[in-house]
Chains A and B, each alone.
Chain A
């Protein structure tokens, strides 16, 4: 199983809503990542977890709150988002956090903020 599963595939939320994105992998990977991708742009790194601990936060606004409750699961909690936060949110995992590791990506959650 070399799959990273993201749910939901699509999400529409208002600016006052609270929602969560979920990412799951069963490859035994110990590094997990959140990327954000705006239309026609490359993915941008948001957060990296290694062994369930937050290793990298790319100065992401606090309305995005990541959580890694166990080695297989990664969540992204959303609160008070802005319309400009509408984007494709991609999750990825790798065996370890290292420079020669390959990342496995999910298909993403397409988020629309109204």
Chain B
């Protein structure tokens, strides 16, 4: 399985963009990059996933480096409801979605 490195924590001001980096230098060519987040006292929530090209949805954008060794999740305008732990998870051929430590995002009002 590909290993990931994410910062332990990040802080942002409300209504400002948040860029969450993830390093996955051992990712294989067919592994998707998934992002989930977990708000306090809730189960994880799907955010976005992609393979090679950048992806956008109503929640966020995912920018994937050309060599696929890193990616960045972009929250365009952070709100207080975006305060959560964000997990970057490469898929694996054995279909196990394995969570790492993640990045705790704090949003200041």
Interface residues of A (CB under 8 A from B): 4, 33, 42-45, 48, 55-56, 58, 90, 92, 97-100, 102-108
Contact between B46 and A104, CB atoms less than 8 A apart? yes
Residues of chain B within 8 A of A99, CB atoms compared: 30-32, 91-93, 95
Residues of chain A within 8 A of B92, CB atoms compared: 99
A sample of 23 cross-chain residue pairs with beta-carbon separation below 8 angstroms, ordered by A number, consists of A4-B43, A42-B85, A42-B102, A43-B44, A45-B97, A56-B95, A58-B96, A92-B43, A98-B95, A99-B30, A99-B93, A99-B95, A100-B49, A100-B91, A102-B34, A102-B49, A103-B46, A104-B46, A105-B45, A106-B43, A107-B42, A107-B43, A108-B43
Residues of chain B within 8 A of A42, CB atoms compared: 85, 87, 99-102
Contact between B95 and A48, CB atoms less than 8 A apart? yes
Main secondary structure of the interface of B (DSSP, over half): loop
Contact between B49 and A56, CB atoms less than 8 A apart? no
Give me the 3 closest cross-chain CB pairs, A-B, nearest first: A105-B43, A42-B99, A99-B91
Extra pairs beyond A42-B87, A100-B49 (8, CB < 8 Å): A42-B101, A45-B96, A48-B95, A55-B95, A97-B95, A102-B34, A103-B44, A105-B43
Once the chains are docked, how many angstroms separate the CA of A45 from the CA of B99? 8
Residues of chain A within 8 A of B102, CB atoms compared: 42
